[in-house]
Structure 1
Amino acid sequence: MTTIGGSNFLKHPVALMTGATLALAMALPAHADNANEPSVTVGGGLGVGPLYEGSSHYAAFPSLKLKAVLPTQEWGTFSAAFPEGLRWDLPGLSPFGFALLIGYDQGRKERIHTLDGRDDYLRGMGNLDSTALVGAEAYWTLPAGRLFVRGLRSSDNRNYGGERLGKTAYLEAGFATAYALSSTLTLDSTLYGTWSNENDMMARFGVTAQQAARTQFEEYHPGGGMRDVTLKLGLTWQWQPQIALEGGVKTYALVSDARNSPLTGEKVGAGAYLNALYSF
């Protein structure tokens, strides 16, 4: 069995997050009636979007959702979710809040798997290895929604295209709301901007000399700075007490050096998803 302190944890973050979600789910009561009680949600569906941020190639991907939430009186709230990761919201700070985060960056394959097979647009770029992410979030809960700032950094030094990138890091800041349209319909929205350090920008939008020699892309070394502005809209229909349908869209606009990357086919992109959920 792996532990947080062991090296295997950092090498297999997906297995740890999925396992933590399932373990927390099995430890919770069978049913929750409100947000202040433990809850478990499982589900899946279909998503459609660009192969990567900035890509002009779109494809369909399977969607999987697992989430377990355990509120406590003395220790705050523990959450485990896939694909988001692990989260610990510390207690006693309302209306302000602070959470410790462990996430996951799946990296990027030069041959990207889709429901139709594999897309070879990035062939020759090589693979960017996945890595665990560690970070924190500070937030302020208001009557209209929640202001937040979160930062995440890779746990490992990363290599891509024959170059050592070091640790990638990014910061997101924005505003999230949830509005009940009726007793069964809820509209969620999140608007945020993302800042990336130079290593993260290189991992997402850069082209090394080695990659330029193997592909049709010109060599490109972006600097750190603002990466994008993103808007997410989601609608959840509570069909039955334990069954819900959720769908939504995500649209982004690239800014700064991300707009000028040879990998950027479209400076503005969007995706959509539809999931069926079961809560207990």
Structure 2
Amino acid sequence: MRNHTLKFVSIMAGIMLYGLHSHTYAQMFNAVQLHAAPPGRDGGLAGIAALTMPQYQGAKETRKLIVPVLDYQWANGWFAGASNGIGYNFSKNASLDFGARLTADIGRKESRSTALRGMGEIKEKAELGAFFNVNPNHNISLTSSARYGSGGDSKGFVVDLGISLVEMPNAKLRVGAGAGVSLANQNYMQSFFGVTKLQAQRSQHAEFKPKAGLRDTHITAFISYMVNPRSALTLLVSSDRLTGDAKLSPISKTIRSNSGVLALSYHF
């Protein structure tokens, strides 16, 4: 039972720290967490979550959503879900994950904010990516991922690096924290933070051409109560801070933004 509980805690940390946080748009699919089942077995997690987050990265306006949570992994290495995308883990070592995956960038709608009027829409795009994670023990995860294919020209490239820590004060209570950084190429930065000459003519913003570099840093903390050995109620809060040219963008109305998640989940 203890081993099963520890596995459940691991996936809860992964889903809550990086999966549900993905709905804040900026950190979508920024890490792969593959602890839904013990090695050699299938397993998954399903639930529902209430979220509050910025309308877009750099926005002052917030948005509230109710979203489903569903992730599953197979013993043969395949996985699929809202948090990890669709992919394959080549590793058979429980402390190491590496592989390839397909994810989706949800783009950005002009209607999300008055600050985006005249900027046009960034369409949804499929992304090809890879990941490499090291899990020294059930408490710590070091994650890295790379994704290519987002933005207006489908050439956006993003690299995410992160670390998460989970502790268990008692049999039912779980607490955790995480931190990470995201780096992006010039194509991505131009699509999501830049202002072209045409956009400048149509909007209230001056022309702006950002360079590649560090896009943001983010920290997250959560507390989770195990209702029973398979179910948990979790509260998560996170804070992102724009850096580099992202924070200098005319459409970035705030440098720091906060998000929150309240989720009920079931491990099967």
Same fold (TM over 0.5): yes
Query: Which of 159, 178, 203 is the aligned partner of 1:215?
Result: 203
Higher mean Cα deviation, 260-269 or 212-221? 212-221
1:167 matched to 2:155 = yes
Question: 2:135, 2:266 → 1: CA distance?
Answer: 27
Q: Say whether residues 1:43 and 2:47 are aligned partners.
A: yes
Which residue pairs with 2:125 in the alignment? 131
Deviations 1:76-108 (A, max 9, x none): x32211143123221245644312121110000
In 1, distance between residues paired with 2:264 and 2:205?
40
| 1:111–1:121 Cα contact (<8 Å) kept | no
Tell me which amino acid in the other structure corresponds to 2:133.
Y
Q: Deviations over 1:167-201 (max 9, x none)?
A: 10110112122222321222232211111000111
8 Å CA contact 1:207–1:219 kept in 2: the answer is: yes
Unaligned runs of 5+ in 1: 1-32, 113-118, 160-164
User: Share of identical aligned residues, percent?
Assistant: 23
Pair 1:34–1:94, CA change in 2 (3 A): closer
Task: Provide the rounded CA distance (Å) in 2 between the counterparts of 1:62 and 1:221.
Answer: 35
Q: What is residue 153 of structure 1 aligned with on the other side? A: 148
TM-score (norm 2): 0.79
Question: Aligned residues, how many?
Answer: 231
Identify the structure with the greater strand proportion.
1
Q: Secondary structure at the match of 1:199?
A: helix
- 1:68 corresponding residue in structure 2: 72
Equivalence map 1:44-59=2 (5 Å): 44-59=48-63
Deviation at residue 222 of structure 1 after TM alignment? 0.3
**Which of the pair has the greater relative contact order for Cα pairs under 8 Å at 6+ separation?**
2
CA distance, structure 1, for counterparts of residue 48 and residue 198 of structure 2 = 39
State whether residues 125 and 154 of structure 2, in contact with CA within 8 Å, keep that contact through their aligned partners in structure 1.
Answer: no
Q: Scaled by the length of structure 1, what TM-score is found?
A: 0.75
Q: Over residues 89-141 of structure 1, what are the superposed CA-to-partner deviations in whole Å (9 max), with x where a residue is unaligned? A: 212456443121211100000113xxxxxx54422211100111111111222
- Output the amino acid matched with 2:140: G
